[in-house]
Amino acid sequence: MRAQALGAGLVAQTQSSIPPFELHRPGSVAEVVALLAVHPEAVIAAGCTDLTAQLREGRVPRDLISVRRVPDLQQVRHDGGVLRIGAGLTHHEGSRHPLLQATLPSLAAAWADIATVRIRYSATIGGNLLARRFRYEMPVLLGALEADLELAGATEPRRPVDWLWGGGDHDGGDHDGSERDGAGAGAWRTRGLLTGVAIDTSDLLWFGYERSMRPTTTVALAIRVVDGSLRVTATIGSEYRRPVTVSTTADVAHPTDLDPGSVGRAVASRLPDDIEDRAGSAEYRRHLVAVLVGRLVATARDSGAQAPEGVTA
Amino acid sequence: MNETTIDFRLNGTPTEVTVPTNRLLADLLREDLRCHGVRSSCERGVCGACTVLVDDLPVASCSTFAFDVDGASVETVEGLAAADGSLSPQQQAFAECGGFQCGFCTSGMLMLTTGLLRQNPCPKRADIRSWISSNTCRCTGYEMILESVERAAELGDGGAR
């Protein structure tokens, strides 16, 4: 079916034409924040691979702020045990960044598997998160890593990844979060501008990702040293429902002492009853999660993962 | 202001156009600049029929705004053949190996191949498979496409500018 958006021209050349908007092309985070203060309902655009689909699905922005020319959004830094990844990095740039590969190579490897070659050159980590599509994988990876979203100009400068989903369970939200936070003149102060994600690596022992059962079930898993024990945090993804993050603590000091089967069962038992989705019952998904978590823990156990310097395991 | 002026190189030729801000690169190339080898199909960045190279990287022109190529170098399938009409190595390889059936996906496949061979002149089959999996051939002639990319690499200079 061909649709015609008002004002887009007499003949739609595309399946659903994109409505006109005013374009802003700032060069710094401060300029973006200033623009958001004037245009609080503006849409933020980076790689546009998902945004163009949203626009064709009926989203009508009056103002569009392209952040492609904002160099601060392209940075990767590792200071004081915190890894910061700029929201404007494409999947290709981010996964191949030397600092990420040196600091958290398992995240780099998992990131390198996301999407197709062509999408990877355009799509950004920020867009992947803020599109709020259940099938996208960065919320799963970063959920297990307990990453924080860093938001410029917002009332709360840091939010956990779960904040993306709020109380709603809808798929396909806004690139900038305006719908979920309630569009309006003050809403942008709540959501701000996503400048990047921050991952605490100071107590991180191991991270891995299992996507062999995608899209039914994916599992990202991180092992941290907390008070001398190991905390296993897993985020469960699916094409059809929002990710779920659960943690369990194993009273052992080293990954070699972990029992994959018992950790898998412990994680699965903590999943909520509404874990069922179109791909399977709660029982089926718990079984899958136990198997996938067990595989990851076995890999961690065999990897010889060592506690970071200064962290007692 | 709902229009913007962009400067870019189209198949090596400096090009300046004023476009509506909501103009997509695929529509600019096909409708305004008559590059009819750029095919629009899924219009969701999934099928790859609209693939062009922007600064040597393959992008879905259906999901790229025209304003985003300001200052960039854009290449379409129209830029592959020599001025005298002789085929590029990639085109020659696709013709030799039957790397197309209905031909609709071929321009996207050729641009993907060009991008791949520029980065990796001697790709392994796994590399080729990874790249080609970005694009869809509804005739499912993938084996011949894989062979075509391998042949293009053999012919060398497959990613020549």
In this predicted model, what pLDDT tens digit does every residue of A241-290 receive, in sequence order?
A: 999 999 999 999 899 999 999 999 999 999 998 898 888 899 999 999 99
Give yes or no for residue A177 having a pLDDT over 70: no
**Contact indicator for B99, B137 with CB cutoff of 8 Å:** no
Give yes or no for residue B31 having a pLDDT over 60: yes
Closest Cα in chain B, distance from residue A88 (Å):
14
Mean pLDDT value across residues B137-144 = 91
Residues in chain B closer than 8 A to A13 (CB atoms): 27, 30-31, 40
Closest Cα in chain B, distance from residue A15 (Å):
7
pLDDT at A279: 81
pTM of the entire predicted model: 0.90
Please give the mean pLDDT across all residues of chain A.
88
CB contact under 8 A, B21 and A21: yes
Residues in chain B closer than 8 A to A64 (CB atoms): 21
Reported as a pLDDT band with limits 50, 70 and 90, residue A311 is low
Mean pLDDT value across residues A159-185 = 56
CB contact under 8 A, A49 and B43: no
* A-B C-beta contacts closer than 8 Å: 84
Closest residue in B to A67 (Cα) is B68
From chain A residues 239-258, the ones with a CB under 8 A of any chain B CB are none
Which of A221, A220, A218 shows the shortest CA–CA distance to A239?
A218
Give yes or no for residue A180 having a pLDDT over 90: no
Closest residue in A to B19 (Cα) is A20
Amino acid at site A3:
A
Mean pLDDT value across residues B22-32 = 96
Interface test with A, best of B63, B116, B133 (most A CBs within 10 A): B63
Residues in chain A closer than 8 A to B134 (CB atoms): 116-119
User: Rounded to whole angstroms, how far apart are CA atoms A45 and A39?
Assistant: 14
In this predicted model, what pLDDT tens digit does every residue of A48-69 receive, in sequence order?
A: 999 999 998 888 999 999 999 9
**Contact indicator for B21, A21 with CB cutoff of 8 Å:** yes
Reported as a pLDDT band with limits 50, 70 and 90, residue A186 is low
Q: Which letter does DSSP use for residue B17 in this model?
A: E
In this predicted model, what pLDDT tens digit does every residue of B35-67 receive, in sequence order?
A: 999 999 998 889 999 999 999 999 999 999 999
**Contact indicator for A250, A230 with CB cutoff of 8 Å:** yes
Give yes or no for residue A2 having a pLDDT over 70: no
User: Rounded to whole angstroms, how far apart are CA atoms A101 and A88?
Assistant: 18
CATH number of B3-79: 3.10.20.30
- Using a CB–CB cutoff of 8 Å, tell me whether A66 touches chain B: yes
Give yes or no for residue B73 having a pLDDT over 80: yes
Closest Cα in chain B, distance from residue A16 (Å):
9
Nearest to A118 among B2, B4, B51 (CB): B51
Mean pLDDT value across residues A171-187 = 42
pLDDT at A56: 87
Give yes or no for residue B150 having a pLDDT over 60: yes
In this predicted model, what pLDDT tens digit does every residue of B76-127 receive, in sequence order?
A: 999 999 999 999 999 999 999 999 889 999 999 999 999 999 999 999 999 9
Q: Which residues of B touch A (CB under 8 A)?
A: 1-2, 4, 20-22, 24, 26-27, 30-31, 40, 43-45, 48, 51, 57-60, 62-65, 67-68, 112, 130-131, 133-135
Q: Looking at this predicted complex, what is its ipTM?
A: 0.93
Interface test with B, best of A22, A118, A128 (most B CBs within 10 A): A118
In this predicted model, what pLDDT tens digit does every residue of A67-110 receive, in sequence order?
A: 999 999 999 999 999 999 999 999 999 999 999 999 999 999 99
Closest Cα in chain A, distance from residue B134 (Å):
5
Interface test with B, best of A117, A120, A121, A175 (most B CBs within 10 A): A117
Q: Where in chain B is the domain with CATH 3.10.20.30?
A: 3-79
pLDDT at A10: 45
Q: Where in chain B is the domain with CATH 1.10.150.120?
A: 89-155
Mean pLDDT value across residues B65-74 = 97
Kindly report the number of other CB atoms within 10 A of residue B34's CB atom. 10
Give yes or no for residue A26 having a pLDDT over 80: yes
Coil, strand or helix at B130:
helix
In this predicted model, what pLDDT tens digit does every residue of A127-160 receive, in sequence order?
A: 999 999 999 999 999 999 999 999 999 999 999 9
CB contact under 8 A, B130 and A117: yes
pLDDT at B93: 97
- Using a CB–CB cutoff of 8 Å, tell me whether A119 touches chain B: yes
- Using a CB–CB cutoff of 8 Å, tell me whether A21 touches chain B: yes
Domains in chain A: ranges and CATH? 73-200 (3.30.465.10), 208-303 (3.30.390.50)
CATH number of B89-155: 1.10.150.120
